[in-house]
């Protein structure tokens, strides 16, 4: 069985580089084409069963995480450190508070008043 591929042994470096770039573009184009064909086949299968693809993938009707109602609101500090550091009590515990707790300090000692 003879190979369909061209003989590249006698190509120059510039020709090989150009060939490699063309191959990468061809691979990307083929992947995009196959991705589109696969997506169309999945849509057709879902539709034949009475569903939309978005419905099956959980993208319909505002699914997902809700946005916080207080997003962007400046919060009062819940904890104030010995050097004026602040922590609102949301998100990961800051390093300054973790280190104080490792030394045996109680978090409640630094509650803001």
The closest alpha carbon to 39, from 54, 29, 26, belongs to 54
pLDDT at 60 over 80: no
Q: Domain containing 88: what range?
A: 79-110
pTM score over 0.85 = no
Q: Quick one: average pLDDT of 57-78?
A: 77
pLDDT at 85 over 90: yes
Establish if 64 belongs to a structural domain. Answer: no
Establish if 39 belongs to a structural domain. Answer: yes
pLDDT in the model for residue 96: 94
Establish if 62 belongs to a structural domain. Answer: no
Name the phi and psi angles at 6, rounded to 5.
Answer: -75, 160
Establish if 66 belongs to a structural domain. Answer: no
Establish if 92 belongs to a structural domain. Answer: yes
Establish if 48 belongs to a structural domain. Answer: yes
Contacts of 76 (CB under 8 A, 6+ apart): 88, 112
Establish if 68 belongs to a structural domain. Answer: no
pLDDT in the model for residue 28: 96
Q: Give the span between the Cα atoms of 85 and 82, in whole angstroms.
A: 7
Contacts of 80 (CB under 8 A, 6+ apart): 86, 87, 110, 112
pLDDT in the model for residue 57: 82
Q: Quick one: pLDDT band at residue 18, thresholds 50, 70, 90?
A: very high
Q: Please give the tally of structural domains in the chain.
A: 2
Name the phi and psi angles at 86, rounded to 5.
Answer: -125, 150
């Amino acid at each position: 069985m003879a190979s369909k591929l061209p003989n590249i042994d006698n190509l120059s470096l510039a020709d090989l580089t150009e060939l490699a770039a063309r191959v990468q573009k061809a691979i990307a184009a083929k992947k995009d084409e196959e991705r589109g064909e696969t997506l169309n086949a999945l849509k057709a299968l879902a539709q034949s069963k009475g569903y939309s693809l978005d419905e099956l993938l959980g993208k319909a009707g505002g699914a997902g995480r809700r946005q916080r109602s207080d997003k962007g609101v400046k919060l009062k500090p819940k904890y104030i450190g010995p050097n004026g550091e602040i922590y609102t009590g949301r998100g990961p515990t800051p390093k300054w508070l973790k280190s104080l707790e490792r030394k045996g300090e109680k978090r409640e000692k630094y509650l803001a008043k």
